[in-house]
Structure formats: structure tokens, C-alpha cells
Amino acid sequence: MQHFGTLGRIPSVEGAVASLDGLAIPVTEPLEEAYRALLPTLVRRLALIVRDVDEAQDLAQQTFLRATETWPPSKGQPAGAWLTTVGVRLAIDAVRRRKRWGFLPLRESDATWALTVDPDVWRALGTLDVRTRAALVLTVLDGYTQAEVTEMLGVTRGGVASMLSRGRDRLRPLLEEGNQ
């Protein structure tokens, strides 16, 4: 289960983390170590989930703020998975709150970066609800198991399976169209 301690198996960029091993933060390391190594990757994942870089950065900061209250996690517990759980839950709450109260955006989210790289996938992700987006990112991109995502999202295993199935079904035609 060693890779569960990582936030993701994708190497980070901009020198924050040089290697895959660098992402696996031993729980005995101080919080600053985890902050330096995991923050960039956490922001990237949350940006895909909430679809807004600024909000993702705020949520990642909030996640570490929470971490100051409980750090260090219990011995043997993966720091990355814990931070991901808190970050994703905060992200889902934020999107729900936004929806529930009908918040109007202060400005249009600047998604030029996403539209430049892969407009099809970006738009396709936008058609999914936030939990399904989170489930897809966590399983397909980060390799978390269904059981782990079940705990992270606080839903049943069948619920996660259903979300993944629905998400893939929704993305498949869009991605296949893009390949043609």
C-alpha cells in the first residue's frame, strides 16, 4: 500500500518535487515538508475538480490550515491521502455551497490554460457533477482504489462504482469524437 501515501503518481513540475519518491511524505516529517512537496499537486487536482485555479489554491490553503490542527497524522497513515481527503471534501462542500446559495461568480473563471491544452476533456469534465469529477480524478489519474475513494468521498462502494460508470459513459463519446 506504499503508493497510497502519495497524492498522486504523476511527477510534479516547477521544481517543487523532483521525483516520484519525493511525493511520498513519511508521516513523521514536519508539516512544512508536506506543504512544500504536496501543495502544488493538491492545487492541480483541486483545480480539475472545482474548475477554478484561484478557488483550488484557496482550498489547498484551507486544507493545510486544517492540517495544522491535527498534524502529524497517526503513525503509518499516509499524509497525502489524508490531505487529499480533506481537500476533496472541502472542494465538494464549496461547490455545493455555491450551488445551494446560487452565488454569482465575481468574474468569469479564466480557463485559458485548460482550453489551450485540451478543450474537449475540460468541457467534458464540466458536464459531470463535482463528486463524479472527484471520483474520476482520484481513480483514473491518481490510481486510488475504489475502496479508498469510497472513504474519501464518504459514499458507498456501489455509489462510487455508479459515479465512475456514469462519468466514463459521459466522457467516452466526447473523447472518441476528439480522436477522430
Partner 1 sequence: VSDEFDQRLRQRLNALSEAVPAQRQRNRVQPTNVTTRAAVGGGGLLLAGLLVVVALRLGAQWSIGTSQSPSPAPTVSAGPTESPAGLAAAPPLGISEALAVQLARQHVSSDSVFVSASSGRFADVNHYDKMGSRGPKQANQQVWAVDFESLYTICPPGGSACYSPRPGFTTVILDEFTGDWITTFSYSPAEPVPSPEPSVAVLGFDDPRARQCGATVDNTIVLLEIPPGSAFEQLFPNALDFPEVDDATGPVFLVVYRGLYPGGVAYAPPLPGASRWPAPSLSPNSVDMCAVFADGSRLVLGDVSLDGFTPPTQ
- How large is the C-alpha radius of gyration of the chain? 16
Find where cell 484551507 sits: 62
- Residue 28's φ and ψ, nearest 5 degrees, are -80, -10
**Shortest reach from residue 24's CB to partner 1, in Å:** 14
Between residue 125 and residue 164, which ones bind partner 1 under the rule CB under 8 A?
Answer: 129, 136-137, 139-141, 143-147, 149-151, 154-162, 164
Between residue 8 and residue 37, which ones bind partner 1 under the rule CB under 8 A?
Answer: 10, 13-14, 30-32, 35
Task: Decide if 138 contacts 84 (C-beta within 8 A).
Answer: yes
**Shortest reach from residue 80's CB to partner 1, in Å:** 12
The correct pick among 90, 128, 130, 134 for binding partner 1 (CB under 8 A) is: 90
Contact between 40 and partner 1 (CB under 8 A)? yes
- Residue 144's φ and ψ, nearest 5 degrees, are -70, 150
**Which residue's CB is nearer to partner 1, number 22 or number 141?**
141
Find where cell 445551494 sits: 100
| Total chain residues near partner 1 (CB under 8 A) | 81
Q: Return the C-alpha cell found at 14.
A: 516547477
Between residue 46 and residue 75, which ones bind partner 1 under the rule CB under 8 A?
Answer: 47-48, 53-54, 56-58, 61-62, 64-66, 68-74
Q: Please list the helix, strand and coil fractions of the chain in percent, rounded to the nearest 5, in that order.
A: 70, 0, 30
